[in-house]
Structure formats: structure tokens, C-alpha cells
């Protein structure tokens, strides 16, 4: 083999090696992308917590001067942000101090899809055993996965409900009327998006309401609550 042929052969081998390396990197990259897409649906978050004076889908002292009702949707990203990021601080500052009574309601039937409604029914059924908030946490923490009855049943078992009672509730569609009422009340309040919060209190025997449509920061809630206390002539 001549010198030119040796050089030509060496270059051919180097080119082939580069092609193989490039192909290998493409395969690895495709695998990483696939793993990233699969990961959220296979690795579930199992963190949940109880609430102060929890009672079904409410928490706090029902005699608190201000009631805040949240209208939410388990498929709503901003609702998930409020539930996982803002709500723990909200509870600590306003609910545990008994300044606010907080109620969670759903408009999944109005704005979202059948899986969201299925998730809401599951949380209401768990709420019969005072595990509403625990289910609420698990559903929002995993809201990017497809909600199926078997997955919701798994979460119900995780939070510690009596599965016999829970299954009976789910099979009876016991909360169909409540879901319809949630939607009707949301529409009556002028709600068209989630999350939305209705701040209500009583001044001179009349109920006063303020609508906060959106994932408001803690400061906005603080302002609305202090304004309500001032209107009622109460010290915040």
C-alpha cells in the first residue's frame, strides 16, 4: 500500500469513527429525552400533610371573622402552585391564627376534563374520613399524570382511609350533586378561571364579598383580610 493510500485509509477510518460517535451521542440523547418524558408519570410524589382544624374540604375555625372560599381545578397549574407553594404559608398566617376559615371547592366540571372531576370526587370521598386535604396534596403534587380510578384508589390507601367506605362512596357517585353545586356557585360568583378566591365577611348584618381571580401572592391576601377586619371594626 502506498503512502497516499495509507493516508486515505486512515482518514476513512477516522471519518467512520466520528460517524459512530455522533450516532452514539444521538442514541444516548434520545434515551435521556425519553427518560425525562417518562419520569413524571412513573415517579410519584407521596408527600401530604394534615391541616389545622380540618373538617372535610374546609380548615380552620368556622367562627373566624373572614371566610375565604377557593374555587380550584386539579388540572390547573396555577392552582397547583397555590396549593403547594402559597397555601402552607397562608395556613400558618391566617388559618392557624383563626383569622380565616378556608374552604376548598372545585370547578373541574366547568373548566376542565373528566379526570379532574374524577379526582375531585376522590378527594370529597376521602373527606368523609377527614382525609380531604391529604388527597388534595397528593393529587396536586402529581397533577401532570393521568388521573385514573386505580391511581386515585392507591393514593386513598396511602393517606390511610378505610378503603371499604371509600370504594362505596366512589361507586355511588355520592358527590355528583355537590360538584354541580360547586359549579353553580362559581358561576353565580362570576368565576371564569382558576384559582379564584371569594373573601366574605359580615358588616352591619350584610354579607360583603370580594373576588380575587388568580394565584395571588400572600401579600394580596393579607391586604384583603386586613381591609375586611377594618371594615368590620376589628383589630387585625
- Is 80 exceeded by the pLDDT of residue 59? yes
- Is 90 exceeded by the pLDDT of residue 123? yes
- Please give the pLDDT value at position 8: 62
Contacts of 190 (CB under 8 A, 6+ apart): 211
- Is 90 exceeded by the pLDDT of residue 99? yes
- Please give the pLDDT value at position 41: 44
- Please give the pLDDT value at position 114: 87
Identify whether the C-beta of residue 201 lies closer than 8 Å to the C-beta of residue 232: yes
- Average pLDDT, stretch 51-78? 97
- Please give the pLDDT value at position 15: 58
- Is 60 exceeded by the pLDDT of residue 3? no
Task: Find where cell 372535610 sits.
Answer: 56
- Please give the pLDDT value at position 108: 80
- Please give the pLDDT value at position 113: 76
- Please give the pLDDT value at position 109: 75
* pLDDT tens digits, 154-190: 999 999 999 999 999 999 999 999 999 999 999 999 9
Give the DSSP letter string of 6-40.
HHHHHHHHHHHHHHHHHHHHHHHHHHHHHHHHHHH
- Please give the pLDDT value at position 209: 98
Identify whether the C-beta of residue 131 lies closer than 8 Å to the C-beta of residue 160: yes
- Average pLDDT, stretch 136-153? 96
- Average pLDDT, stretch 13-35? 52
Amino acid at each position: 500500500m502506498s503512502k497516499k493510500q495509507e493516508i486515505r485509509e486512515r482518514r476513512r477510518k477516522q471519518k467512520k469513527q466520528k460517524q459512530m460517535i455522533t450516532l452514539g451521542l444521538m442514541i444516548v440523547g434520545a434515551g435521556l429525552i425519553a427518560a425525562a418524558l417518562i419520569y413524571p408519570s412513573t415517579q410519584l410524589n407521596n408527600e401530604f400533610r394534615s391541616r389545622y382544624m380540618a373538617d372535610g374540604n374546609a380548615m380552620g375555625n368556622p367562627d373566624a371573622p373572614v371566610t375565604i372560599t377557593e374555587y380550584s381545578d386539579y388540572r390547573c397549574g396555577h392552582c397547583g402552585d397555590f396549593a403547594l407553594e402559597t397555601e402552607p404559608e397562608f395556613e400558618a398566617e391566617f388559618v392557624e391564627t383563626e383569622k380565616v376559615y378556608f374552604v376548598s371547592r372545585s370547578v373541574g366540571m366547568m373548566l376542565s376534563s373528566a379526570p379532574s372531576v374524577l379526582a375531585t370526587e376522590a378527594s370529597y370521598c376521602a373527606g368523609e374520613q377527614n382525609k380531604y386535604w391529604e388527597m388534595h396534596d397528593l393529587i396536586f403534587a402529581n397533577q401532570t399524570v393521568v388521573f385514573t380510578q386505580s391511581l386515585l384508589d392507591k393514593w386513598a390507601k396511602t393517606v390511610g382511609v378505610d378503603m371499604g367506605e371509600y370504594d362505596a362512596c366512589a361507586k355511588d357517585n355520592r358527590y355528583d350533586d355537590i360538584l354541580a353545586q360547586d359549579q353553580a356557585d362559581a358561576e353565580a360568583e362570576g368565576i371564569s378561571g382558576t384559582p379564584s378566591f371569594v373573601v366574605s365577611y359580615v358588616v352591619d348584618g350584610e354579607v360583603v364579598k370580594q373576588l380575587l381571580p388568580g394565584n395571588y401572592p400572600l401579600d394580596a391576601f393579607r391586604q384583603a383580610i386586613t381591609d375586611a377586619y377594618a371594615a368590620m371594626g376589628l383589630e387585625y
